[in-house]
Structure 1
Amino acid sequence: MILGTIPFALGATAQTSSNSVYISGLYVGAPHQTVNQEYVKITNKGTTAMNLKGWKIKDKNAKHTYSFPSSYTLKSKSTVTLYTGKGANSATKLYWGRSSYVWNNEGDTAYLYNAQGKLVSTRNG
Structure 2
Amino acid sequence: MGTVPFALGATEKVSGSTTSVYISALYVGAANEKPNQEYVKITNKGTKSVNLKGWKIKDKGAKHTYTFSSYTLKSKASVTLRSGKGRNSGSTLYWNKYSFIWNNTGDTAYLYNAQGKLVSSKTVKK
Q: Which TM class, normalised by the smaller chain length?
A: 0.7 to 0.9
Matches within 5 A, 1:36-51: 36-51=36-51
Give the structure with the larger strand fraction: 2
Q: 1:85 offset after TM fit, Å?
A: 0.4
* Equivalent residues in 2 for 1:19-30, closer than 5 Å: 19=12, 20-30=20-30
Structure 1 residues 78 and 123 mapped into 2: Cα distance closer, same or farther (>3 Å)? same
Equivalent residues, number = 112
Distance (Å, rounded) in 1 between the aligned partners of 2:116 and 2:8:
17
Partner in structure 1 of residue 100 of structure 2: 101
Partners of 1:16 and 1:122 within 8 A in 2: no
- Aligned runs of 1:101-120 on 2, under 5 Å? 101-120=100-119
1:88–1:95 Cα contact (<8 Å) kept: yes
* Percent identity for Structure 1 against Structure 2: 68
| Normalised TM-score (structure 1) | 0.86
Alignment of structure 1 residues 1-125 onto 2, 5 Å: 15-19=8-12, 20-69=20-69, 71-125=70-124
How far apart are residue 83 of structure 1 and its match?
0.1
Unaligned runs of 5+ in 1: 1-12
By how many angstroms is 1:17 displaced? 2.6
Partner AA of 2:73 in structure 1: L
Instruction: Give the aligned residue type for 2:106.
Output: G
Regions of 4+ moved over 2 Å: 13-17
Given that 1:14 and 1:123 are in contact with CA atoms closer than 8 Å, whether structure 2 keeps it comes out as no
Distance 1:96-1:67 versus aligned 2 partners, 3 A rule: same
**Residue identity in the other structure for 2:104:** N
In structure 2, the gaps of 5 or more residues are: 1-5, 13-19
Distance 1:16 1:61, change over 3 A: farther
Quickly say closer, same or farther: Cα 1:114–1:61, change in 2 above 3 A: same
SS at match of 1:36: helix
Q: Could you tell me how far 1:16 is from its partner in structure 2? A: 4.7
- Give the TM-score, by structure 2 length: 0.85
CA distance in 1, matches of 2:57, 2:78: 15
